[in-house]
Amino acid sequence: MWSFDTDPDFQSDLDWMLEFVKREVEPLDYRFPGHGAPYDVSNKESRAAIRPLQEQVKARGLWACHLGPQLGGPGYGQVKLALMNEILGRAYWAPTVFGTAAPDTGNAEILAMFGTEEQKALYLQPLMDGDIVSCFSMTEPQAGADPKEFVCRAWQEGDEWVIDGEKWFSSNARYAAFLIAMVVTNPENPPHGRMSMFIVPSDTPGVEILRNVKVMGDDHAGDGGIHGYIRYNKVRVPADAMLGLPGEGFKVAQARLGGGRVHHAMRTVGKCQRALDMMVERANSRRSQGKLLAEHQFVQGMIADSAIELEQFRLLVMKTAWVIDEVEHGRTPAVSPRTLIAMCKVQMAKVYHDIVQRAIQLHGSLGVTLELPLAEWWGGAMSLALADGPTEVHKVQVAKALLKRGATAPGLFPSEHIPTRMAAA
């Protein structure tokens, strides 16, 4: 049954979150700027600033809400998480303050699902407490995100695994206490059964960060990149460092990526809403050609298009969250939400790009400067189209799902052939 109601007690939490993020968290983006700032646990000043905020979040019962009860979390479900993540998307620091920063959220999930009790104590608990950060080391320089083309490999020697090869764009590796690396262990298996997943402490001998790659919006000067280009130079880890069974790396990865994709979409709604709010404020404040921008029909059209596209995307995200909850609770036949998640991933980058681009246009020359956040946000749209799999891959997934369950023409002519249907009628 569809419902747009929000439980009054939870709505109270959402109201508190919105005010808290606006008042306390958004300023952190300006006090401690930079893509890597929320992940740098060695920065004593930023940690001192966020600890009291994190304690307020914990006292409210809103800390690390992404894990279900079977994994040690509160079990809010995806609909509630969607409403929460809309708010967290407003500020870069917000996920860290609320204990839901990626890739730590996904890594926490697979540690909870596949880790041993010792691994949970050593890695999961500090991760959940916000004392350390982690890295998901999957993509490769020659293969991107296509696991069928991976060549970084591992083999067993005695009671150890030896990992050898390179990984590309391992985000936050420079700050991580440990990496979760996806490497080839069973090359004779079918493509999706060739890989395994390992926990690799970042200080393990042989883990070499060749460089920290920068992206659009980073300063060329200095060493500010956060996406590690890593060489695993015969790195040795114990046999029990594997998550899951040999050859199950793809399965483990999918367990974290689905949720991560929809959470990205949820936070994107919040970021787009903030850009739309900026457009409305600008239109109501700036004059051109003898009248307010708000009185120009072109401007009205830009705002209307943005509001409509955002509402459509928000409803797609909410439906996806609802379907996930219904399936997990057994209230809906066991249908996979994968197609809806792929739709969210495809539309996310487009809606974000278009709304932020209009906001930049409406702010004129000021919009392209670094005196507003819009230029940096717009650069992030390119990353959204690539992170967790490129847009094109997800479009193919959507199309294949529809084609698989679609019908074929019953005869020589299409089923909507008018003469045939008239004769039948």
pLDDT, position 257: 63
pTM beyond cutoff 0.75: yes
Residue 91 phi, psi dihedral angles, 5° rounding: -135, 140
Residue with tokens 């996979």: 336
- Domains, the chain, in order of start with CATH, read 8-115 (1.10.540.10), 134-243 (2.40.110.10), 250-405 (1.20.140.10)
What's residue 304's pLDDT? 98
What's the pLDDT score for residue 201? 97
Separation in Å, CA 99 to CA 88, 165, 223, 307: 11, 32, 26, 30
Distance CA 242, CA 248 (A): 10
Provide the pLDDT for residue 259: 65
Other CB atoms within a 10 A radius of the CB of residue 144 amount to 17
Three-class HEC string of the chain: CCCCCCCHHHHHHHHHHHHHHHHHHCCHHHHCCCCCHHHCCCCHHHHHHHHHHHHHHHHCCCCCCCCCHHHCCCCCCHHHHHHHHHHHCCCCCHHHHCCCCCCHHHHHHHHHHHCCHHHHHHHHHHHHHCCCCEEEECCECCCECCHHHCCCEEEEECCEEEEEEEEEEEECCCCCCEEEEEEECCCCCCHHHCEEEEEEECCCCCEEEEEEECCCCCCCCCCCCCEEEEEEEEEEEEHHHEECCCCCHHHHHHHHHHHHHHHHHHHHHHHHHHHHHHHHHHHHHCEECCEEHHHCHHHHHHHHHHHHHHHHHHHHHHHHHHHHHHHHCCCCCCCCCHHHHHHHHHHHHHHHHHHHHHHHHHCCHHHHCCCCCHHHHHHHHHHHCCCCCCHHHHHHHHHHHHHHHCCCCCCCCCCCCHHHHHHHC
So what's the pLDDT on residue 366? 97
Q: What pLDDT sits at residue 194?
A: 95
Give the separation between CA 47 and CA 190, rounded to whole angstroms. Answer: 46
Give, for all 425 residues of the chain, the pLDDT tens digit. 567 888 899 999 999 999 999 999 999 999 999 889 999 999 999 999 999 999 999 999 999 888 777 666 677 888 999 999 999 999 999 999 999 998 898 898 889 889 999 999 999 989 988 899 999 999 999 998 888 899 999 999 999 999 999 999 999 999 999 999 999 999 999 988 999 999 999 999 999 999 999 988 777 777 889 999 999 999 999 999 999 999 999 888 877 766 677 888 999 999 999 999 999 999 999 999 999 999 999 999 999 999 999 999 999 999 999 998 888 877 877 677 889 999 999 999 999 999 999 999 999 999 999 999 999 899 888 888 888 788 999 999 999 999 999 999 999 999 999 999 999 99
Q: Determine the pLDDT at residue 231.
A: 98
The whole-number pLDDT of residue 251 equals 86
Q: Could you give the C-alpha distances from 283 to 98, 301, 346, in angstroms and in order? A: 33, 12, 30
Q: Do you find a cis peptide bond into 238, omega within 30 degrees of 0?
A: no
Model pLDDT, residue 1: 53
The pLDDT tens digits of the residues spanning 80-114 come to: 999 999 999 999 999 999 999 988 988 988 898 89
